[in-house]
Structure 1
Amino acid sequence: MPWKISTVRRRRTAAALVAVVSWSLALSGCTSYDTTSPRDARSHPSDDAKGERGAVDCGKERCIALTFDAGPAKDTPRLLDILKEKKVSATFFLLGKNHVVKHPDLVRRMAAEGHEVANHTWTHQILTERDADEVREELSRTQNAIEKITGHKPTLMRPPQGRTDDQVAEVSRDLGLAQILWSATAKDYSTTDSALIKKRVLDQADRDGIILLHDIYAGTVPAVPGIIAELKKRGYTFVTVPQLMAPGVAEPGKVYRP
């Protein structure tokens, strides 16, 4: 009898844990979805989606991508100066309202200096909590604003908080946007300690990685020179997200994560 009671209790506990996890996922708006790694995209490009291999062959080189979310903002000019000085290309996932429309010269400079300009929605809404029309509005307004400034519509987007689902994927596909997540984050929204931001990035850095930072927080840009210097010392080559996947091309609607 004690054994039976113990077994029943374990089963009830397991069932309760499953229920809690399911409930949490429902609240977050997250669903399960397939992801493709940059390496897989690079190694198995489809016949109708082959990009040109760039100056860097990430199949041979130790590549890593720096990405910055939620700008441009007041610290972005200094960041662009650092990247230019260090000869590093990055990918910028830009917010439309209060950022792109307020700093068109910075958006234009990013594109002119070889950085990848990408979409991070109009107002940073959690897309899994919005209906399809609202998701489309969040993405298309930023698409149009960036195109007006640079002459080109982005092909990449990053959903706020990395939260996506089938509906977001469908709208992204319609708008020609692939979804890009990350493998390393400094959680720079939680600290102004540049040394800590640097440490967190370096601890998580790996080949074919995608680093998530924000150029809107005070501690981030001062951490960038040290991050670049140490990763170069470790033999990494910095590339944009499209370069990380070449000769493959990120396909609209798909979710990419190292």
Structure 2
Amino acid sequence: MSWNISRLRSRTAGALAAVASLGLVLSACTSYDTYSAADARSEAKGGVQVKAGMKAQAGPVDCEKVKCIALTFDAGPSEHTPRLLDILKKEKVPATFFLLGKNHVDRYPELVRRIADEGHEVANHTWSHRILTDRSSDEVREELSRTQDAIEKLTGKRPTLMRPPQGRTDNDVSDVSRELGLAQIMWSTTAKDYSTTDSALIEKRTLDQAGRDGIILLHDIYDGTVPAVPGIIEELKRRGYTFVTVPQLMAPGHAEPGKVYKP
């Protein structure tokens, strides 16, 4: 039995790595409007979101004045997530977790609850990591809503953020996301941790790209990633960064459903 589980995990990680390696190239094939965290903040301060009936709330810090950066983790939880949560708790760093439904949320329900209970943002990364732009609207809705339901059942809260696999989206995906109350969150920094188990390299790639209002993309399913996190946190704190969740990065605004946010 343990051999079968290991083989399944290996296949899942391998499949995710294969599609992720194409992500930046393929996502460039589709044109869509993008917005930034700064856009969300300025709209709220200008009253745009308030006029639309959206309540603007201040975050724990003002990211207009403070150097903020958001750690995000895709495709978990996994057997590596408990160690990651221990690190984040010790360092008092909040993160945003874009959770995968099949073989992850449904396999590690206690970790989903722990992520939420420890104050991290729980978000949606689809049910089975299918490329949404290759699917019908009904299939996109199924991929997202199934994960929404599973997370809500475990945490009592429906996610408001999602990250499309490979970062591939289009107008149809945006329409379904809007319908389900989900904003789409891209990234500014990727360590391509699916391609290496070298934690030092993952740390270097992350730090080389890190910037203010940045969103760091990592995966808590690969062997080399979690060991790189302490060094990433230590160095970014030394550089004066404050770690926030994605919603905190946008406060007092918030990510609007259907829109695509990219630093």
Pick from 106, 110, 118 the counterpart of residue 105 of structure 1: 110
State how far apart, in whole Å, the 2-side matches of 1:199 and 1:51 are.
Answer: 36
Contact 1:65/1:208, CA 8 A, preserved across alignment: yes
Structure 1 residue 124 displacement after superposition: 0.1
- 2:231 is matched with 226
- 2:131 is matched with 126
Contact 1:30/1:128, CA 8 A, preserved across alignment: no
Residue 39 of structure 1 aligns with an amino acid whose one-letter code is A
- 1:184 is matched with 189
State how far apart, in whole Å, the 2-side matches of 1:201 and 1:231 are.
Answer: 10
- 1:193 is matched with 198
Q: Work out the percentage of aligned pairs sharing the same amino acid.
A: 77
1:32 aligns with 2:31: yes
Q: Deviations over 1:114-142 (max 9, x none)?
A: 10000000000000000001000000000
Residue 222 of structure 2 aligns with an amino acid whose one-letter code is Y
Structure 1 residue 57 displacement after superposition: 1.1
TM, length-normalised to structure 1: 0.88
Contact 2:57/2:252, CA 8 A, preserved across alignment: yes
The 5-angstrom pairing of residues 45-194 of structure 1 reads: 45=44, 46-47=49-50, 48-194=53-199
State how far apart, in whole Å, the 1-side matches of 2:147 and 2:119 are.
Answer: 20
1:214 aligns with 2:219: yes
Q: Deviations over 1:134-173 (max 9, x none)?
A: 0000000000000000000000000000000000000000
Give me the CA root mean square deviation.
1.3
- 1:13 is matched with none
- 2:40 is matched with 41
Q: Quick check: 44-53 or 61-70, which moved more? A: 44-53
State how far apart, in whole Å, the 2-side matches of 1:226 and 1:28 are.
Answer: 30
Unaligned regions of 5+ residues in structure 2, if any?
A: 1-23
1:251 aligns with 2:256: yes
TM, length-normalised to structure 2: 0.87
- 2:15 is matched with none
State how far apart, in whole Å, the 1-side matches of 2:128 and 2:62 are.
Answer: 36
How many corresponding residue pairs?
233
Structure whose CA Rg is larger: 1
Q: Quick check: 174-183 or 37-46, which moved more? A: 37-46
Give the match's secondary structure for 1:44: helix
State how far apart, in whole Å, the 2-side matches of 1:164 and 1:49 are.
Answer: 25
Unaligned regions of 5+ residues in structure 1, if any?
A: 1-24
Structure 1 residue 31 displacement after superposition: 2.1
Structure 1 residue 28 displacement after superposition: 6.6
Contact 1:118/1:155, CA 8 A, preserved across alignment: yes
Give the match's secondary structure for 2:98: strand
Residue 128 of structure 2 aligns with an amino acid whose one-letter code is T
Pick from 203, 209, 213 the counterpart of residue 204 of structure 1: 209
Contact 1:67/1:93, CA 8 A, preserved across alignment: yes
Structure 1 residue 29 displacement after superposition: 9.1
Contact 1:29/1:128, CA 8 A, preserved across alignment: no
Structure 1 residue 54 displacement after superposition: 1.8
Structure 1 residue 43 displacement after superposition: 1.4
Contact 2:191/2:203, CA 8 A, preserved across alignment: yes
Contact 1:30/1:165, CA 8 A, preserved across alignment: no
State how far apart, in whole Å, the 2-side matches of 1:124 and 1:183 are.
Answer: 20
Contact 2:99/2:123, CA 8 A, preserved across alignment: yes
